[in-house]
């Protein structure tokens, strides 16, 4: 049963290919993603760690776990947002990412903020 004090976290994802870093002949496709995390609850939260599952079109899965995001563990008061950009590399022009942020409320309640699957795709491949 979930604690009713756990806030609603809204996560917005934007992705785009970094073609200057990609090398299709070497099966290297680099993508940037910008994540916006918004605390829609009525209590402050701190992002402790992240867990990503990155899958390419060949079903090759990479898992990434780490403390915070981009070297930070942001604290978000109610209605505050935190935005950051990072990147990943896969071996196919299309793939997907999903994951979660492990968070803690100001009153000590741990919870996961789930990140729904999103696409990584070179635009010309989808046309």
> What is d(CA 40, CA 28) in angstroms, rounded to the nearest whole number?
37
- Say what the pTM is: 0.90
Does 84 reside within a domain? Answer: yes
Backbone dihedral region for residue 63 (phi beyond 0: left; psi -120 to 50: alpha; all else: beta)? beta
Average pLDDT over residues 14-43: 96
pLDDT band at residue 6 using 50, 70 and 90 as cut-offs = low
Give me Rg for the CA atoms of the chain: 16
Does 81 reside within a domain? Answer: yes
Q: What is the pLDDT of residue 2?
A: 46
Q: pLDDT tens digits, residue range 43-90?
A: 999 999 999 999 999 999 999 999 999 999 999 999 999 999 999 999
Does 123 reside within a domain? Answer: no
pLDDT band at residue 124 using 50, 70 and 90 as cut-offs = confident
* Cα 8–Cα 14–Cα 16 angle in degrees, nearest 5: 160
Does 35 reside within a domain? Answer: yes
Does 3 reside within a domain? Answer: no
* Domains identified in the chain, total number: 1
Residue 104's domain is classified under what CATH number?
A: 2.60.40.1470
Whether the CA torsion 34, 39, 45, 51 is positive or negative: it is negative
Can you give the residue range of the structural domain that contains 56? 9-110
Average pLDDT over residues 34-48: 97
Q: pLDDT tens digits, residue range 87-117?
A: 999 999 999 999 999 999 999 999 999 999 9
Does 2 reside within a domain? Answer: no
**pLDDT(120) > 50:** yes
* Cα 101–Cα 83–Cα 110 angle in degrees, nearest 5: 25
């Amino acid at each position: 049963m979930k604690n009713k004090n756990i806030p609603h976290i809204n996560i917005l994802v934007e992705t785009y290919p970094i073609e200057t870093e990609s090398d299709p002949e070497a099966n290297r496709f680099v993508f940037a993603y910008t994540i916006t995390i918004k605390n829609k609850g009525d209590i402050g939260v701190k992002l402790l760690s992240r867990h990503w599952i990155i899958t390419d079109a060949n079903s090759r899965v990479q898992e990434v776990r780490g403390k915070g995001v981009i070297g930070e563990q942001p604290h978000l008061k109610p209605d505050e947002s935190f935005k950051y950009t990072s990147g990943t590399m896969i071996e196919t022009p299309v793939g997907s990412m999903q994951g979660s942020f492990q968070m803690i409320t100001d009153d000590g309640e741990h919870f996961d903020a789930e990140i729904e699957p999103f696409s990584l795709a070179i635009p010309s491949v989808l046309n």
